[in-house]
Amino acid sequence: MDFSNFESVTIPPEDERLAPLGKRLETCRPIGIFRSKEDEFLLCYTEFGIYVDKHGKLSRDAGTIEWEGSADSVAFHAPYVLLFDSRFIEIRHVETGRLAQILPGKDIHCVWNARELNSNDNLTTGDVSDDQMIQEAQVHAVTSLVETSVQPVGRPPKAVIQRVFELIPTIPLYLPGSLSSPSTQTYFPALFSPPH
């Protein structure tokens, strides 16, 4: 972006690693940018993501992060990036890019996210511990409910039923037992509760 007039500009890639990416960028749409570290950003496109430094150069040798689907939109709930495909929500850690969870659904769309409410403080980066994780709803979505009843022949279809829901990270549950450190136990909780 040209900061003198706030127009977006295309910069030809100087890094030879970006040359194959140039053609791919022509067919993809940018959908979001998030700070992953102090001097690094995750650029999200409809089909993939890449990490760049503050000068726009690739900051990691791994190249692109391929999404599981084609994202229509993206939301952020520190430290996770939520990618909305119409069939599921893909949840990835902003700092590592690793897939954390997939929430299936039908005709899913993000209807609100608190991205504009978050200032550029330390909670908008990937440097968020479990103690700092915000437990308030910051992302709202809508999904169509799957109709299981059979329609009689000649009757018009029923109205589409939609459910609006909030996505809130779950708090890890530590099973009863000793009060020793929970880090000695192996527990893999779901990160976000599925819509119900």
Task: Provide mean pLDDT across the span 118-131.
Answer: 47
Residues whose CB falls within 8 Å of the CB of residue 172, separated by 6 or more in sequence, listed in order: 130, 182, 187, 189
Can you give the pLDDT at residue 56?
Answer: 80
- pLDDT given at position 48: 94
Confidence of residue 45 (pLDDT cuts 50, 70, 90): very high
Q: Residue 93, exposed/middle/buried by CB under 10 A (0-12, 13-18, 19+)?
A: middle
pLDDT for the residue 162: 86
Task: List strands edge to edge, sheet with 162-167.
Answer: 109-113, 139-144, 162-167
Tell me: pLDDT of 124 over 50: no
DSSP annotation of 183 = G
Distance CA 76, CA 115 (A): 7
* Phi then psi dihedrals of residue 164, to 5 deg: -95, 135
What does the mean pLDDT of the chain come to?
76
Could you read off the pLDDT of 53-66 as tens digits, one per residue?
Answer: 888 888 888 788 99
Contact 42, 51 (CB under 8 A): yes
